[in-house]
Amino acid sequence: MICVIDTETCGLDPLTADIVELGMVMMPSMETYRSFVRPEMPIELPAMAVHHITEKMVADAPRWQSVALALLDAEVLVAHNASFDRGFIEKGGWLANKDWVCTWRCAKQIWPDAPFHSNQVLRYWLPEFDDEIRSTVIGDAIMEQPPHRALPDAWITAHILKRMLIEHSIEDLVEMTKLPILSKTCHFGKHRGVLWEKVPKGYLRWLISKDFDADTLFTAKHHLEKDNDEPNATAEPPLS
């Protein structure tokens, strides 16, 4: 069974925050599950301002140890930007033996021309996708729920996965999740919005000497090695 999930949390760091809501769509049946979770610590106000889950709403909810039982039979767990959800799901050693698919990482490789790859951007960028996720009574009811809540986000992710599975197996997507991403456009710094292939070689050299994320380093090294880059560029100073 494939379980597509989304979590809402009481903060951004799994070391200091817990899950407060789990949404799940089981595939291929598209059966859904949702539960509040009572955290061990208070909900941080910035998080509450995003998902609008209050202390009162979770006061009588089960603890994570009970809610996590819903995921035990999953062969593959799927989430959009899965590294975030995985950090909370596997906290304390729970469910650490599962395969994962990150639909965000896969989308960047399958649909590199999308303007961005968030759930909501893909929702409106993919052809006829918004109609698809609302095409059933259940789907329409789910999407009427407030934004930034676990079940609507999991529902969108499940349909993104369905699109991907037209041309890719779930095993392909598990492996694709592990691959570094060759980005098309720089999204930060002095060359923000510029195609990576147009970024000066000196800037690429500066990037790979710093502690950037693995995908940025992979992309910089790829374009640094291309034959058509500037041959004599020197390292650039930090972006400003």
Confidence of residue 228 (pLDDT cuts 50, 70, 90): low
Q: Quick one: pLDDT at residue 17?
A: 95
Number of separate domains in the chain? 2
The predicted model scores a pTM of: 0.87
Same domain, 164 and 225: no
Residue 127 has pLDDT above 70, yes or no: yes
Check: CB of residue 148 under 8 Å from CB of residue 8.
Answer: yes
CA proximity to 119, closest of 4, 3, 29: 4
- CB-facing half-sphere around the CA of 63: CA atoms within 13 A: 3
pLDDT over 90 percentage in the chain: 74
Query: Which domain CATH number covers 54?
Result: 3.30.420.10
Same domain, 152 and 167: yes
Same domain, 97 and 6: yes
- Domain with 232, as residue range(s), is 180-240
Residue 188 has pLDDT above 80, yes or no: yes
Q: Quick one: pLDDT at residue 224?
A: 87
Same domain, 129 and 233: no
Last residue of a domain, one of 134, 156, 178: 178
- pLDDT tens profile 46-56: 999 999 999 99
pLDDT over 70 percentage in the chain: 94
Who wins on pLDDT, 175 or 238? 175
Distances 138 to 29, 70, 146 between C-alpha atoms, Å: 13, 20, 15
22, β-bridge pairs: 7, 35
Same domain, 119 and 79: yes
Same domain, 113 and 196: no
Same domain, 156 and 84: yes
Confidence of residue 64 (pLDDT cuts 50, 70, 90): very high
Same domain, 134 and 207: no
Same domain, 190 and 221: yes
Last residue of a domain, one of 150, 178, 206: 178
Same domain, 185 and 173: no
CA proximity to 24, closest of 70, 65, 61: 70
d(CA 101, CA 120): 18
Last residue of a domain, one of 178, 213, 230: 178
Residue 140 has pLDDT above 70, yes or no: yes
CB neighbour list of residue 124: distance below 8 Å, 6 or more residues apart: 130
Q: Count the helix, strand and coil residues of the chain and give each as a percent rounded to the nearest 5.
A: 45, 15, 40
Same domain, 151 and 237: no
Q: Assess whether the previous peptide bond of 28 is cis (omega < 30° from 0).
A: yes
Same domain, 151 and 239: no
